[in-house]
Amino acid sequence: MPSLPAIAPFLGDTSRLKAYRKYSDASAVGFLSAILFAVFSEPVKTYVDFGEKWMALSGLPYQMNTAMLGFIVGFGFVRIWLLMRLQIMKSLLSYRGWMHNPKSTTTKLWALMLNALRGTGDFPTFFFEPLLPKLPVPDLNSTCERCLASFRPILSDEDYMNLLTAMITFKEKDGPRLQQYLLQKAAVEDNWLSEYWLNIAYLAHRGPSAIKVNCYATDRKELPSHNQIARAANLIHWTISFYEHLKEDTLIPQYLQEMIPLSMEGYRRQFCTTRLPGEHIDSLRTYEESKHVVIYRNGVYYKLDMYAPDSDGKDRLLTVTELYDIIKNIMEQTNDTKECCEVAVFTAQKRDVWANIRQRLLVSENCESLEAVESAITFISLDSATPKTIDENGTYTMVGDGINRWHDKSVQFTISANGKLGINLEHASTDGSLPGRLWEYVLHNEKYNEDGDIVRQHYKRPLPKPQRLTWNLKEFQKDIESSVKFYRSLANDFELVVTSPDYGKGFMKKQRLSPDGYIQMALQLAYYKLHNKIAKTYESASTRIFRKGRTETIRSVSEFSAQWVKSMQNERATREQRAMLLRKAVQYQTQYKMDASCGLGWDRHLVGLYCMCMEKGLPIPALFKDKSFLMPDALSTSQTPTSYTRQWSMQTSCMGGGFSPVSDQGYGVSYMIYGEDLIKFHVTSVKSVTSTSSAKMADAICDAMQDMKNLLS
């Protein structure tokens, strides 16, 4: 396959040429062709004579005309051929049979062609984005049927009849018109869903982002160092190094099954991005030219430029050693400080409240400091807490102490006094799985000596001095008091328990069952054991095989899963019946997952139809007001990807992450599969709700996993 620069000119800004290459392969072929035409001009004399006639006015010598014609032929041929290759690749990426029929002859031929066209070169980060297919608009009838099938096992006969009536009315009256509008939108936009989902799922949410919307990831199991400064220096350096790869378009694209490129669009807002509160809806702002980070310690904020001129006068990233000395200086300055700025607690408030306070900050002397925080590449908090367990690490990373988390930053980091790291993510700007690649990169690259200190390097250049940000919050004291009180109610209500069953996916694979489907059934059984009812369940599926793709919903509950969990509590059910129902339930979930990943789930489609209804100013259909349709998810679940690149190792892997439950009466369950024998579950709930308990749910999951193993053994 031709190397990258030969193809890049067809993709515009998304595929910049690498700095060390001046000419594309098409130009190189053009020059070679020009030489050949000039040296061997007799075979092309007819064409050269023709060329002389229309170039007579140029006054160019015969050999020059020959060479020019050769360049045009060679350059044009390669450009046309490469354009054809791109179009073929674009068509191949629209094929979905590899997911449903992976062993078919068609799929094997498709894979050979795709690999041949893609080659083995390193492509720019966003190279494949224009080649990815658009997210499809599902068939309206299929969506309605899928929706009803998902609700049937969890509703009473009366509620289901009401939903069925509303669905039939919608399908016959309002649905077709809204479907046509949505199809028209899909025809002219890269992704018909992306803006709708961003607004309705995140930016229009008026409750707090802190704890309720944000998510977290924990540190590795065995810390390579307990030195807070050493880990902070490594963390900051390697985080900005990763950011540089994104800026320079050199971060290798991510592939599914090492073959199918995934959308990298979500990485555009991973850094330098802040969620800005608005009166009715928030907005995301990315400060693309930002070159600084904000470091927080003991109530003091510092703005630190991450680049300094080297001996050749060019700005280069601060090294780990330089960062260590700068952070050590910050620590010394803030050890005995009496200053304690509480401005960050506003970011934990309800969005409308925070929007009002922020407007007042912007017209006060705090404006410059506020802008420094919001425009930073990232936010780093040097904490005084010393979390020991994974549970404590996750909890403290998520909630902080109220004033040491800037919950609006797309990504922020915590470094505890004992060296434990954590990452806190604002969910609107990026999906929870994307920063996992950054986390893997940081944890793989950090280096320490035997004493847990940095591997020190000599430097001569003068270091940038951190700028201490000043705040005057005298006029905001009442706001601070109410916000601290509000924050405490949120933080005290967050309950996290991390647990692991006695076995992993190895046993599931031996049973020829999808590990993800198997685990989802364990969650169903655990919930049923505790609450004696079927849980409306959300599981996220990635749609990044599409342009600007984010997620779709997997509805794991089916008639099979409902009958299976009931059979596990029914003494009359035989072992064979239980095993059969379990296999059917897992197969259903697996099929639904594939369909959802192909953009054929019902949730996002109905969101799009609802948003289109609002956009056109039409009356809201009864379906979107039905109490069953609006029922919150009792189980909000997600599988966290374990590895992103070949750099991953168990030694440097994080111990998972998680999120709060969508419903206060429900659970948030995130799980991460490590190798063949280990699974980590992060189970969250709301403490003040007595009907739920993270500890009891965690125990029930382990019990359910054991019951399933006993059933199939």
Q: What is the largest CA-CA distance in the chain?
A: 99
Residues 341, 137: Cα–Cα separation, whole Å: 49
Backbone φ and ψ for 187, nearest 5 degrees, come out as -70, -25
Sequential DSSP letters for 260-306: EE---GGGGGSSSEEEEP-SSS-EEEE-TT--EEEEEETTEEEEEES
Structure tokens, 232 = 């902070």
Place of tokens 């940000």: 469
Structure tokens, 418 = 């004992």
Residue 295 β-bridge partners: 302, 380
Residue 539 β-bridge partners: 554, 637
Residues 540, 554: Cα–Cα separation, whole Å: 6
Sequential DSSP letters for 456-467: -----SPPPPPE
In this structure, are residues 479 and 358 in contact, taking their beta carbons and an 8 Å threshold? no
Counting Cα atoms < 13 Å in the Cβ hemisphere of 277 gives 26
Backbone φ and ψ for 635, nearest 5 degrees, come out as -120, 115
**Residue 427 is a catalytic residue:** yes
Counting Cα atoms < 13 Å in the Cβ hemisphere of 567 gives 20
Contacts with 385 (C-beta within 8 Å, 6 or more apart), sequence order: 396, 401, 416, 417
Structure tokens, 185 = 């939108």
In this structure, are residues 564 and 516 in contact, taking their beta carbons and an 8 Å threshold? no
Could you report how far apart the first and last alpha carbons of the chain are, in Å? 49
Contacts with 237 (C-beta within 8 Å, 6 or more apart), sequence order: 317, 318, 319, 320, 323
Contacts with 274 (C-beta within 8 Å, 6 or more apart), sequence order: 284, 285, 287, 373, 374, 375, 408, 409, 410
Structure tokens, 593 = 């997952």
User: CA–CA distance from 490 to each of 206, 213, 354, 477, 482 (Å)?
Assistant: 15, 12, 15, 20, 13
Q: Which is it for strands 635-640 and 667-674: parallel, antiparallel or unpaired? A: parallel
Give me the count of residues in the chain.
713
Q: At what angle do helices 575-597 and 559-568 cross, to 10 degrees?
A: 150
Residue 401, classified by CB atoms within 10 Å of its CB into exposed (0-12), middle (13-18) or buried (19+), is: middle
Q: Which among 598, 509, 653, 657 has a CA at the least distance from the CA of 256? A: 598
Place of tokens 């802190």: 210
Q: Report the alpha-carbon angle 568-631-196, nearest 5.
A: 125
User: CA–CA distance from 350 to each of 486, 518, 633 (Å)?
Assistant: 9, 38, 22
From the candidates 237, 407, 427, 682, which is the catalytic residue? 427
Residues 519, 554: Cα–Cα separation, whole Å: 13
Active site residues: 427
